[in-house]
Structures are given as structure tokens and as C-alpha cells.
């Protein structure tokens, strides 16, 4: 096959030996099978922002730290330099998340390195050694659905213990490897502590898994793992082995409107104070 321009430098430098074929092309990146010595691995080539179909970039990047005040100002102004910095941050987020998650025992493809913006990682294979299918290509039995759901909920739990939320998790970005489900596609990984949309994204991730697995095991459709998990996380008591039941009792107490408005006003003042401090620090630099 014709070698993609992004992969030619890796061949020239001996990082990969050859390109065996394209595995998939998605809204964010194209993934190729590559030979590295005796190993077959994946090379993920990210698409430029103009080509990507992911339109809610700012929503996901909220809470991420820029490298310095110059980069932060540039990203805010949307200059050419700022757009390049934002692109770099988008790509680096997946690399950093993969290394952190793999180190913590979360089932993700093992990263092998990043070269010229191309991520080299483990090929997730099925029991026969072929590239693993995505969950949406498989119809589970009730027993399989329960097993996969339990595994994936624990992976989401482990991610949250590290302060990360996938943010776009569904049956379309989970591979069914030889040893069970493997979570993929993490450039939009969300900072659980710094993003105001964190719980909403966690709930959506968990509910997507619930809907898929619940089609085969309907009893899963009544579970409330997102709320239960988030309660433990907010209290600082969530651990990878914290036992979850999937049951959660919602507080039916009517909200105190005056107290709510007070808290909102306090949060606004604190945010304004932080912004003034950030601008003052940026001006000094």
C-alpha cells in the first residue's frame, strides 16, 4: 500500500519497518497496522482539526493545564500558535492518559511511544490473533453482557480513581480482546476535578454501557452506577476495589432556592477571583 505521509518519517528513522494496512479511519484519527521487528502494532495518525468531526473540543479541554502562561493566552486568543498548542494538547492528552491508565492496570492498549505526533501502541487481538472487534459488532449472551458490564464499570471506576473520565465511552470504542473488553480512543479524556461537565460525561459513559449490555441483560437497565461512583469520588473515598451495588437513592428533599443562589454567587465570585489572578500572573510573565 501507499505509505501515508505521516508514517514515512517513522520508516526512515527505523521506528517501524513497514505499513501493513489501514485498520480503521474515524472522526479523530486513522489507525494503521505496522510491523516493528517481529511485532505487529498500531500506529494512530491524528487528523487535523479541520478534518475532525469532534466539535465540542473546549468542553472536553476545560480543566486541563497548559504548559505555561504564553500557551494559555495563545489558546484563548485562537491565534495560529494557539491553535497549534491546542492541537498538541489534544494529541498529548491521549498519550498521557494511556500511560497513566496502563500503569494503573486499566484495560487500554499498551502505549509503545510517540514519534512526530504518531502514537504507536499495542494491537489488541482476539483469541485467534486477529484485530479485536468492537463491542458494537458483537451480540452478547446475557451471561457475557453481565460479565462485560462488570469489567467495564470497574475500568470506569479505576479511571475515576485517577481523576479521569473517558468522556465519549460507548460500545463503539471498546474492543473485545482475547482477555475481555479493552477501552480505546482517549484524546477527549476529561479531568474529573477540573471540568464542570465531569459528572454529566461520567453519567453518559456509564449509561451508554448500561444501554448496550442491558439489551441482553435487562436487569442492568435499572442500575445507577454513575451516581453511586460519583458520590464515593466526591467524598474522597473511591478506590479501585470499592464495592459498588448499582443502587442509589436520590435525595428528594426540595432545594433551598436562596441557598442555591447564594452558592452560585459565591462560585461566580471565586471564579472571577481566579481569573483575575491568572491574568495578573500572565501579565507578569
Question: What are the per-10-residue average pLDDT scores of the chain (285 residues)?
Answer: 91 96 88 96 84 51 53 52 60 88 96 91 95 96 98 98 96 96 93 93 97 98 97 96 94 70 77 74 65
pLDDT of residue 282: 64
- Reference 175, options 143, 136, 145; nearest CA is 136
Report how far residue 83's alpha carbon sits from residue 155's, in angstroms, rounded to the nearest whole number. Answer: 32
Task: Give me 224's grid cell.
Answer: 445507577
Range of the domain at 201: 58-110+124-234
Please, which contacts does 51-55 make with residues 24 or more away whose CB atoms are closer than 8 Å?
52/27, 52/28, 53/27, 53/28, 54/27, 54/28, 54/188
Tell me which residue has cell 470506569.
Answer: 156
Beta strands in 210-261 (DSSP E): none
The residue from 48, 137, 168, 241 that is catalytic is 168
pLDDT of residue 147: 98
pLDDT of residue 272: 80
pLDDT of residue 90: 66
Please check whether residue 240 lies inside any domain of the structure.
no
CATH of the domain at 180: 1.10.510.10
For the chain, first and last CA: distance in Å?
49
State the number of CA atoms in the 13 A half-sphere of 57 facing the CB: 20
pLDDT of residue 52: 47
Residue 168 falls in the annotated catalytic set: yes
Tell me which residue has cell 493566552.
Answer: 73
How many angstroms separate the Cα of 285 from the Cα of each of 65, 68, 83, 276, 281?
A: 17, 9, 21, 14, 6
Please check whether residue 129 lies inside any domain of the structure.
yes
Measured at the CA of 6, the angle between CA 88 and CA 3, to 5 degrees, comes to 160
Q: How many domains does the chain have?
A: 1
Measured at the CA of 220, the angle between CA 242 and CA 103, to 5 degrees, comes to 40
- Reference 175, options 113, 109, 112; nearest CA is 109
Please check whether residue 271 lies inside any domain of the structure.
no
pLDDT of residue 86: 60
The residue from 185, 205, 256, 265 that is catalytic is 185
Classify 122 as helix, strand or coil: strand
Please check whether residue 216 lies inside any domain of the structure.
yes
Amino acid at each position: 500500500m501507499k505509505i501515508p505521509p505521516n508514517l514515512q518519517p517513522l520508516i526512515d528513522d527505523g521506528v517501524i519497518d513497514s505499513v501493513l494496512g489501514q485498520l480503521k479511519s474515524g472522526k479523530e484519527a486513522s489507525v494503521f497496522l505496522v510491523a516493528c521487528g517481529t511485532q505487529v502494532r498500531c500506529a494512530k495518525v491524528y487528523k487535523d482539526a479541520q478534518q475532525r468531526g469532534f466539535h465540542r473540543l473546549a468542553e472536553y479541554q476545560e480543566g486541563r493545564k497548559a504548559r505555561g502562561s504564553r500557551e494559555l493566552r495563545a489558546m484563548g486568543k485562537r491565534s495560529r500558535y494557539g491553535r497549534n498548542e491546542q492541537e498538541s494538547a489534544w494529541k498529548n492528552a491521549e498519550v498521557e492518559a494511556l500511560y497513566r491508565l496502563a500503569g494503573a492496570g486499566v484495560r487500554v492498549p499498551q502505549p509503545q511511544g510517540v514519534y512526530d505526533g504518531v502514537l504507536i501502541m499495542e494491537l489488541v487481538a482476539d483469541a485467534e490473533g486477529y484485530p479485536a472487534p468492537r463491542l458494537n459488532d458483537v451480540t452478547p449472551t446475557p451471561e457475557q453482557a453481565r460479565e462485560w458490564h462488570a469489567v467495564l464499570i470497574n475500568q470506569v471506576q479505576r479511571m475515576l480513581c485517577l481523576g479521569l473520565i473517558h468522556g465519549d465511552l460507548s460500545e463503539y470504542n471498546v474492543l473485545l480482546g482475547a482477555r475481555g473488553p479493552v477501552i480505546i480512543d482517549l484524546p477527549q479524556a476529561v479531568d474529573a476535578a477540573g471540568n464542570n461537565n465531569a459528572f454529566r460525561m461520567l453519567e453518559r459513559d456509564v449509561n451508554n454501557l448500561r444501554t448496550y449490555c442491558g439489551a441482553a441483560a435487562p436487569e442492568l437497565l435499572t442500575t445507577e452506577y454513575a451516581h453511586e461512583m460519583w458520590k464515593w469520588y466526591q467524598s474522597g473515598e473511591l478506590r479501585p476495589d470499592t464495592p459498588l451495588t448499582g443502587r442509589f437513592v436520590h435525595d428528594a428533599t426540595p432545594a433551598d432556592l436562596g441557598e442555591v443562589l447564594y452558592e452560585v454567587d459565591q462560585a461566580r465570585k471565586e471564579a472571577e477571583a481566579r481569573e483575575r489572578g491568572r491574568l495578573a500572573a500572565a501579565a507578569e510573565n
